[in-house]
């Protein structure tokens, strides 16, 4: 059954309706393709950490600078239109609760209005959409992995 999950990200309230199974599968494939280099960095760091400290790096702070470098490389291979289309596809089932307004499905106008100067909030909401849809890499890499950088 499709569920709706309410989240607060950086003081903004959203409801995320899960995708259908086929929609989620297609978007997860795209997401894994995009994030696999980042996950490799995390996995490599985890193996090194276990060998050195006998403790998983997933239990420690994440080296954001390494991830940022990999993300920068990934985004260079993503056209502006492809990236925007991906983000809007991920936000297709997101309802926004703006103060003093009726809850509204995410549109480009709402996106432009609520995320002005809040780019990190966009990425945090993307992570919340992935978690709401139970994308498998959360289970494969440790349930709390990306929650360290989400809202």
Q: How far is Cα 133 from Cα 23, in angstroms, rounded to an integer?
A: 10
Task: Say whether pLDDT at 141 is over 70.
Answer: no
| 5 strand-pairing partners | 16
- Token pair 């919340």 is at which residue? 128
Range in 22-36, 71-85, 130-144 with the lowest mean pLDDT: 130-144
pLDDT single digits (tens) 33-47: 777 776 666 666 545
Task: For residue 68, count CB atoms less than 10 angstroms from its CB and return exposed for 0-12, middle for 13-18, buried for 19 or more.
Answer: exposed
Is residue 120 within 8 Å of residue 12, measured between CB atoms? Answer: no
Confidence of residue 23 (pLDDT cuts 50, 70, 90): very high
* Measured distance between the N- and C-terminal CA atoms of the chain, rounded to whole angstroms: 25
Identify the pLDDT of residue 90: 95
Name the residue among 141, 115, 117, 116 with its Cα closest to residue 130. Answer: 141
Identify the pLDDT of residue 42: 63
Identify the pLDDT of residue 38: 67
Q: How far is Cα 36 from Cα 12, in angstroms, rounded to an integer?
A: 29
Task: Say whether pLDDT at 114 is over 50.
Answer: yes
Is pTM, for the whole model, over 0.75?
A: no
Domain ranges of the chain: 4-148
């Amino acid at each position: 059954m499709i569920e709706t999950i309410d989240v607060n990200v950086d003081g903004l309230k959203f409801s995320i309706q899960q995708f259908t199974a086929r929609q989620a599968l297609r978007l997860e494939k795209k997401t894994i393709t995009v994030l696999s280099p980042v996950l490799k960095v995390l996995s490599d760091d985890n193996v090194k950490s276990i060998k050195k400290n006998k403790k998983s790096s997933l239990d420690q702070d994440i080296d954001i600078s390494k991830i940022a470098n990999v993300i920068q490389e990934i985004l260079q291979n993503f056209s502006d239109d492809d990236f925007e289309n991906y983000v809007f596809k991920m936000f297709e089932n997101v309802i926004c609760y703006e103060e003093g307004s009726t809850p509204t499905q995410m549109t480009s106008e709402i996106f432009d209005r609520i995320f002005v100067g809040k780019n990190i909030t966009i990425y945090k909401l993307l992570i919340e959409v992935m978690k709401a849809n139970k994308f498998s890499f959360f289970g494969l890499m440790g349930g709390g992995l990306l929650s360290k950088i989400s809202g």
